[in-house]
Amino acid sequence: MRVSIALGRLPGFDWSVLRQERHFHFRRIADRQRAVLGVGEVECVDAPDFDEQGRARDWYFATLPYEWKEAIQHAVDTRSASGTWSMPRFVVEWKGEEVWMHVRQADVDQAHAWAERAFIDAPDTGGPPRITWSMHCDRERYLANVQHLLAHIQRGDIYEINYCTTRSATVPGFDPYRAFRTLLLHSDAPFAAFARSDDGYVLCASPERFLAFDGRRVIGQPMKGTRPRSFDQATDHRHMEELASDAKERSENIMALDVMRHDLSRIAASGTVQVEELCAVRSYPRVHQMVSTVSAVIAEELTALDVLRAAFPMASMTGAPKVRAMELIREVEDGPRGMFSGSLGFLAPDGTGDFNVVIRSLLFDGATGRL
């Protein structure tokens, strides 16, 4: 059992306090005025444990790579494809302007000492270095792959596909803690994440939610369609209107929504799947995004884990139909996606949980200095 400690309103957070931790997991949920941080690792389990009401029995932080779907279906069996569920030593939770810690009784004194070091206004040490990226796929191969995929669309094998390429760089002296602080400050990403497991880091400025849980209610929010923000009000408004009326963007968004509706119908109580928003345009500091929202009530005998297994990976990062799109992705892309287009999220004992889409992210290997 954990005890909850109210810390009240506190100043800024010093990300460098996490340097001594081999495992941590931060998630922001801006539309709920909430953020959570799991620090340390008491135990790593294959799957969360649930009570009779379907609520997680403890805090579980999940790291789910894109290939997790294949791992749980036993198509592959590698460490890189397996998702991890971590139970942290203690949890920091920001709720509005208040900060809480959820810790085991034996860790209360240690948690207070940690909080005294963490909640300070850390100095701005400047941004990360300029990065020169190397493409893994040359122009000729990229264009050939695009033509190959277009041929499948023209034959009716798929309706859309999310084809991704890989870029990498070696950056001497790269500081992931300073870089994430800068990334969050400049992007204000609503579903941002920062996670470490041993030498592997994920710095994520995601604008997209995959799934959110509240008791037995779940929502999915596929995002397709982007326009830049402008300092000029008239131009900014025009960009919004262009996005809202763009036939291609609406078509892609609706296809992703249809796949999500189908996925949720497999785990939902009869008659509970509903589209709450269709092609809504939401504005963030640097971009406008088109988002649709579908909700469902989870069937009585199922849990949040069943929902994740049914809906993963998110249709916005695969295409439609999902299975065929994933087969073609495996055929043409440079290699396994790993955490890119996977998900970072958590389940809490109060029945809530939130999982993002890992896009607009940096994956860093602290042992090699490679991004």
CA 93 to CA 102: how far, in whole Å? 8
Catalytic residue among 41, 70, 208, 249: 208
Side chain identity, residue 212 = A
Quick check: is 69 catalytic? no
Q: What's at 260, amino acid-wise?
A: M
Question: Which positions ≥6 away from 368 have C-beta within 8 Å?
Answer: 170
Residue tagged active-site, from 67, 93, 224, 252: 224
> Is residue 224 among the annotated active site residues?
yes
R_g over Cα of the chain: 21
Which is nearest to 345 in space by CA: 164, 84, 97?
A: 84
Residues labelled catalytic: 208, 224
